[in-house]
Structure 1
């Protein structure tokens, strides 16, 4: 075969490289030194995909099923998946002093979901500086809590593991109950949530804040992400507190008001693709679960470590509806108008995502003897690369696990990336006359 004639567009290349890393991760997790006991191929594939897509869903207990080597493989996949394969490729090129051409910049643009190729190399360079600095600082702060409890070796390792997992919105934990034992611990709650909120807000926003340091000078995207994140998290926290306050299996079992507030706050913000939990998700009221479904579907920010349709996509769609109802011709916000191309892209993401989720839930309802709400929660959690579960992940059949594997893969790369990887570009040379059709 002559590989010179193989032509892959940026979207196809991203899909291919992601698949390669998942397969390599699967092979490494099947090595005898990676597990404490035998792990099936399907479970190794599931874990590798969950780590590479920074989801956090687990079919086996990470802390007991995998050795330190296996856990480090998972961490490596999380870091590569969270910061981006192409970002690491750029880092290696920079270290080797290689020139990065137009094609490579175009691939990086697709990988980081940027609107142009200008400044992508600088973005990648700063991405690593910010990420590693934040992870190291968080690890040292968490060590203040865990070193006295577990000793220097375990304490530092647990801090290291959870710092990387949280910043990359992965949701993997050493403990089988995630962080439930620290439900009222202020330091653990603040550091872990800070990590996944910062990781989920997007590297573009972080760079914008760092360079401009003035809210008025920030780009419209940054302003929408900051305000949207704050409002959504605050509303979600208040609703979770109100709905779960009298639930004896969740907030009702906590003795102090402070613990209830911390638990409400953590469950509200973790749905933004983080995957950690300090309450038993399966015991939450259905109203709270429904709220979580929406939050997981929306997800984090573009060019972030999180998943979902993205907060800015959700905001654009809401603004489009409001603009239509007001019979306006343009979407206006903060003295700026939003281009039609952005609106069409947002609608495409929403439509493809909804169709994908519907099909996968339909298949799981056929193959899995589980309640509809649990299966819907599992699929949306996988699509949003969240990692929260109502406790059915390990009980899925092999077909069910493969469906969730594909859902995590689809959710991480994004609906449009996969759609563009399959579609062929078409040049429109003919313009046809328009005609109205009845809708609604």
Structure 2
């Protein structure tokens, strides 16, 4: 009798253990009001901890999603621009069924889109697995033109830390576009995690900077020995956290970066880099396109949604478009030439004014000479005074004209030697919060 009880308890225990090992799934069928299946509908299952699972319905309108969380979940069915929201309670180690009937208004009407105003913050932010200061190749054009270049990328990092696709927010130009894209796909991250410790997909804004080749070779006064390969890259990233519908991301803060350089070398290199002035920081913004100055520009946040995603299969197409000068998004305004134009106009105006002043001065001197012929004036003393004033006046006018002419010629040379960019965006304030809308 005791043996039977023990066997019965053991069977119950094994049954419970087997049930605990059963997968937790949510499945169902999406149909319209007539009961017809809807194929290709996007299904998003969202937990309260911030994790997200997504799938699409098959030809029969059916879907199935494996889950690792329990409790109340939100389910969003997205068909074109229409979104339908449902709530479901998920129990662990059980298969939950949720059939959804969607009303499609093909003739138009009100479409309600559900967007969380406060996307969940990753409890653990993604961290790059390699040193962001690793050596990168330079293009021949970048070396020959001694250009200072910078790139901004938006990386779509999956839950395993692999970059699945990216957007080139700001192309570096100078033949470095392909290098920037290929190196972006090589990046690997320790994935972001939610409060429950589950890995989550994340968007990361990543910047790459190539100092000018001449600056690297000369060392710019840095009292350290550089690696034999001086193709140094300075980069950092920003975390983008995911929203409820999976479409909206918010920039938070810098990703902590590490490195295998010794602290003195890295500190000295960064210190020397920080001492390089940014292009456009000089008086009247005259050095905006000086290639010897650091590129501190950002990217246009208004064009992020319009930019196409680049995958590993479309690298050649994207690079070819950039190489032909085809812009991937509505371009921002070109680098301002207003300061140079204004300076040239002022210089020309001053030259005209100086010439006019000289003519008037000469006429005045001649007129006062006629007055000096009167017997009541000491002619000899007045002639000496007039000659001295005339000499100093001509000298002052000549020196001023020479300075203005030299300045105008220098600005002309800067404008002529300005480097060409394959893509141009306007600098924006860094670190500010930004929300990217649309179906990324």
Higher strand share: 2
With normalisation by structure 2, the TM-score equals 0.24
Larger Rg: 2
Higher helix share: 1
With normalisation by structure 1, the TM-score equals 0.24
